[in-house]
Amino acid sequence: MVGLLPDGDRSRPAPLDERRGRAVARRAGQQDSQRLLLIGLVCLTLGTLFLLLTGQQWVPISAFGVPMLLGSLLLPLRMFMMLLGVQAASVAIAVLKIDVDSLLLAAVAVLATLAMVMVVAVCRNRLGSTGESMLIDLRDRLNSQSELPPLPPGWSAEAVMRSAGGAQFAGDFVVAAKTQRGLAVEIVVVDVSGKGLAAGTRALLLSGAFGGLLGALPAEEFLPAANNYLLRQEWSEGFATAAHLSLSLQTGRFELRTAGHPPGVQLHAGSGRWQVHTSSGPALGLVDEAEFIPTAGMLQHGDAMMLFTDGLVETAERDFTLGIDKLVGEAERMGREGFSNGARRLLDRLDVSADDRALVFVHRQ
């Protein structure tokens, strides 16, 4: 069987220009949707004005509040201010054309509400801009810390992470570092409990801490130190599972340790068979003085190793052992077509948006 990974240049994350291009395209699509919504709310406002001017008694002037409320919730500040201008003008026209005292009092109430909503929208925009910048910075920092280091000729690696439901943040992350003066590499795949922003903030904290531990301690001391770190945080729901791979780039010999995490899966290129490497150890942050029993092996030329989180192989209806079988089967079928950009293609084949998921390939070419 051919190797699982493409050459080293293609195994790196997508170029920065490409990621920026996708972000620009997403923002353009969002702006188009917001413009259409603005047009719709303006039409609703003008329609309400038309009904009032034509003497439709069943249409109260408070009907202007419907597009105002929708706009305050769904439009950015600039577009919302445009809508408020149209609404204020419409209310003024209604008052001038219809000489009814009760209508005048209602119009004053509507205009006062418009003013209050405008003040709230301005304050929300200021807070939202700062908060959004902080969240984007959080996501970018987590992504940058999950990039794999370049490996020497004869080796390649690829890491892919996706969040549940396409959310901005995920509790799954990867940290990696070259150790022993570049003669070895250590890769850690982590799954933090929870989802969304809460899991993302914990993942950022742990990725920085775990990245600092890699290489600073012998491989056998990494998971115990990570476990002690989580215990010191005293999070009410804070635990994590992890798989730690220590690999010699000279000999191909590796040790794999897991902490409540799915096992690693190795492709033996000579036989085309897959081997599940099961290690034992509790999840991080639950048990004091936990022991993590390693499993060892050798990556020969053409062999590959896959590490992944349970979101890729486990669902509410399927046990993770069956998910691993499906993962291996999809990898074998994909191998007949070649493994260019293999990690992303394999994740697409198995993608389940209900949970965060991460997949790492390491290949000895």
In the prediction, which pLDDT does 212 show?
86
3-state helix, strand, coil in the chain (%, to 5): 50, 20, 30
In the prediction, which pLDDT does 139 show?
58
Q: Where are the beta strands (DSSP E) in 79-168?
A: 155-162
Lowest-confidence range among 18-22, 23-27, 91-95, 148-152? 18-22
In the prediction, which pLDDT does 20 show?
47
pTM of the complete model: 0.64
Residue range 100-112: average pLDDT?
A: 55
Q: Which CATH number fits domain 146-364: 3.30.70.2190, 3.40.50.150, 3.10.310.10, 3.60.40.10?
A: 3.60.40.10
Instruction: Identify which of 123-137, 173-187, 204-218 has the greatest average pLDDT.
Output: 173-187
Percent of the chain at pLDDT above 90? 25
| Residue 113 tokens, joined | 């509400």
In the prediction, which pLDDT does 297 show?
96
Q: How far apart are CA 25 and CA 79, in angstroms?
A: 20
Q: How far apart are CA 357 and CA 171, in angstroms?
A: 9
CB 248 within 8 A of CB 312: no
| Statement: residue 5 has pLDDT above 50 | no
Over residues 41-87, the pLDDT tens digits come to 889 888 888 887 776 666 776 677 778 777 777 777 778 778 878 87
CB 187 within 8 A of CB 146: no
Domain segments of the chain as ranges: 22-139, 146-364
Question: If you ran DSSP here, which 8-state letter would residue 11 be given?
Answer: G
Residue range 131-152: average pLDDT?
A: 66
CB 241 within 8 A of CB 190: yes
Over residues 224-271, the pLDDT tens digits come to 999 999 999 887 777 899 999 999 999 999 999 999 999 999 989 888
Closest by CA position to 194, among listed 182, 205, 183: 205
Cα dist from 312 to 157, 185, 274, whole Å:
18, 24, 18
Confidence of residue 13 (pLDDT cuts 50, 70, 90): very low
| Residue 197 tokens, joined | 């922003």
| Statement: residue 299 has pLDDT above 80 | yes
Residue range 349-353: average pLDDT?
A: 66
CB 185 within 8 A of CB 176: yes
Residue range 157-163: average pLDDT?
A: 84
Percent of the chain at pLDDT above 70? 68
Q: How far apart are CA 99 and CA 110, in angstroms?
A: 17
Q: How far apart are CA 45 and CA 42, in angstroms?
A: 5
In the prediction, which pLDDT does 17 show?
47
| Residue 222 CA from chain centroid, whole number | 26
| Statement: residue 92 has pLDDT above 90 | no
Over residues 183-218, the pLDDT tens digits come to 999 999 999 887 666 777 788 888 888 988 988 899
| Residue 269 tokens, joined | 């290129």
